[in-house]
Amino acid sequence: MVARQHVKTADERSTGRLYKELALGFFRVGIFGFGGGPSSIPLVHTEAVKKYKWMTDDEFGDILALANTMPGPIATKMAGYIGYRVAGMLGLLIALVVNVVPTVIAVILLLNLLAAYKDLPVVNNMASAVIPVVTVMLGVLAWDFVKKSGDSIGWAKAIFAIVIAYVAMYVLNIHPAFVILAVFALIFSPLLTKRRKRL
């Protein structure tokens, strides 16, 4: 059994503090997410679950799953939704702005003022050296999800589900969004048949 994680409720801390936490947390996610949106998933996990305890691992998994079924950039969807969940509309705005604006300004500056520097080997080398770090962060998070799958539905079922999901997404090349939607449909299908019987 997985021990129930403690998540602080809104009453346990002031809203002002939440805004500050959101601003700091998603600012870090934005400026350290080298390698595009997916590389920031483990960073969001660190801030939301481990550091500030806005949510449990389970809730993080649900949000990540649903974010994957929606189009658009994954990092900003996570920032926006988590901001909203933690502190309402203002929380959403704060999380989005601190997540997106610093790097947008950096791109504008880089292209307008420092265009000469973007081909510098030192800039490329710095960005390349971060990739192995992201690899480790993703690997740790991935193993977390594998282990939790085994703990919650049993290893036999978990391995079965993992193989099916792998084959569907990477052998049959079905888009992940549709695989996740299929899981939704399978889980909720008993509800539909029940309702039909009642009618």
Partner 1 sequence: MIYWELFLAFLIPGILGYGGGPAAIPLVQVEVVDRYGWMTNPEFSEMVAAANALPGPIATKMAGFVGYDQAGVLGAMVALFASVGPSLLMMIVLLNILWRYKNSPYVKNLTKWVRPVIAVLLVVLTFQFFFDSYEINGAWITVFLVIGAYILLERVKLHPAVVILLALGFGAVTTYI
Residues 144-183 that bind partner 1 (CB under 8 A): 145-146, 148-149, 152-153, 158, 161-162, 165-166, 169-170, 175-177, 179-180, 183
Q: Which is nearer to partner 1, 122 or 199 (CB)?
A: 122
198 contacts partner 1 (rule: CB under 8 A): no
Report d(CA 82, CA 40) in Å as an integer: 14
Q: For 6, which DSSP code?
A: P
| Alpha carbon distances (Å) from 56 to 25, 29, 72, 155, 163 | 16, 18, 24, 22, 26
Q: Which is nearer to partner 1, 115 or 199 (CB)?
A: 115
Instruction: Answer left, alpha or beta for residue 88, where phi above 0 means left and psi between -120 and 50 means alpha.
Output: left
Q: Which stretch binds partner 1 (CB under 8 A): 6-14, 15-23, 113-121?
A: 113-121
64 contacts partner 1 (rule: CB under 8 A): yes
CA terminus-to-terminus distance, the chain: 39
* Residue of 90, 93, 133, 174 interacting with partner 1 (CB under 8 A): 133
Residue corresponding to tokens 């950096």: 106
Min separation Cβ 14 and partner 1, Å: 22
Is-contact 91 18, C-beta < 8 A? yes
2 contacts partner 1 (rule: CB under 8 A): no
Copy the structure tokens of residue 43: 């960073």
17 contacts partner 1 (rule: CB under 8 A): no
Min separation Cβ 56 and partner 1, Å: 10
* Residue of 53, 84, 93, 174 interacting with partner 1 (CB under 8 A): 84
46 contacts partner 1 (rule: CB under 8 A): yes
Min separation Cβ 115 and partner 1, Å: 8
Report d(CA 81, CA 46) in Å as an integer: 16
Give Cα 111 to chain centroid, integer Å. Answer: 29
